């Protein structure tokens, strides 16, 4: 293999599945193994496969998922890149037995400053999660000035699109909770707080 061909191959970026930091049944009873098997193992895998097939030969070849989400027009590439980014952040924010059940340090200070209290933040975040019509996401993000924002993102969109850095996301597509909670989105949202790994969220800040 000549040097030029080797260089060209090395420039092709392959998007990969995130490695879960817990077993597929590790989040039970909040999220069942059946939901992880389908949501992570099938839905996310499909988004990753789609992105890998769509990007080669386009202007987005060689770009990170974040770069694609920030600049791609609405369409298949954006939708699949958004869902790869969304789900990667989502699945990596959980822990079977979190060391703490609310944020600390700079994140706690920012939440108290921008939302009044952690409990008030949770109420606003739950309202965003349950109030989003149809499929999508609720996100806690931070802007370049350090201010926190709660946004509702339809379908596969992400706060990166608006120049915000996503910290915490709740998936309210039905495939995220229907096997466990059927149509009870609010129950799903309320239970997710039990498995948030706040150390991960603080590091993202």
Structure tokens, 132 = 């989003």
What span, in angstroms and rounded, lies between the C-alpha atoms of 140 and 161?
14
- Chain-centre distance for alpha carbon 51: 16
Residue 87 is assigned to a ligand binding site: yes
Segment holding 191, helix H or strand E: helix 185-192
Residue 149 is assigned to a ligand binding site: no
Residue 101 is assigned to a ligand binding site: no
Q: Is the dihedral of CA 124, 92, 32, 137 positive or negative?
A: positive
Query: Cβ of 127: how many Cβ atoms within 10 Å?
Result: 15
Binding-site residues, in ranges, read 39, 87, 171, 175
Binding-site residues for Mn(2+), in ranges, read 39, 87, 171, 175
């Amino acid at each position: 293999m000549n040097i030029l061909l080797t260089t060209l191959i090395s420039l092709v970026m392959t998007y990969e599945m995130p490695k879960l930091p817990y077993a597929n049944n590790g989040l039970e009873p909040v999220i069942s193994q059946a939901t992880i098997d389908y949501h992570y193992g099938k839905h996310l895998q499909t988004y990753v496969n789609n992105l890998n097939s769509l990007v080669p030969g386009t202007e987005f070849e060689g770009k990170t998922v974040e770069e694609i989400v920030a600049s791609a027009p609405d369409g298949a590439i954006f939708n699949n890149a958004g869902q790869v980014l969304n789900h990667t952040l989502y699945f990596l924010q959980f822990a079977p037995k979190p060391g703490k059940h609310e944020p600390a340090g700079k994140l706690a200070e920012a939440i108290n400053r921008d939302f009044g209290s952690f409990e008030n933040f949770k109420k606003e975040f739950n309202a965003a999660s349950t109030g989003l019509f149809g499929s999508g996401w609720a996100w806690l993000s931070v802007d370049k000035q350090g201010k926190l924002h709660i946004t509702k993102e339809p379908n596969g969109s992400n706060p990166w699109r608006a120049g915000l850095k996503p910290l915490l996301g709740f998936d309210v597509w039905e495939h995220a909770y229907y096997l466990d909670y059927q149509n009870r989105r609010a129950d799903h949202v309320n239970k997710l707080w039990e498995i948030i790994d706040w150390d991960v969220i603080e590091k993202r800040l």
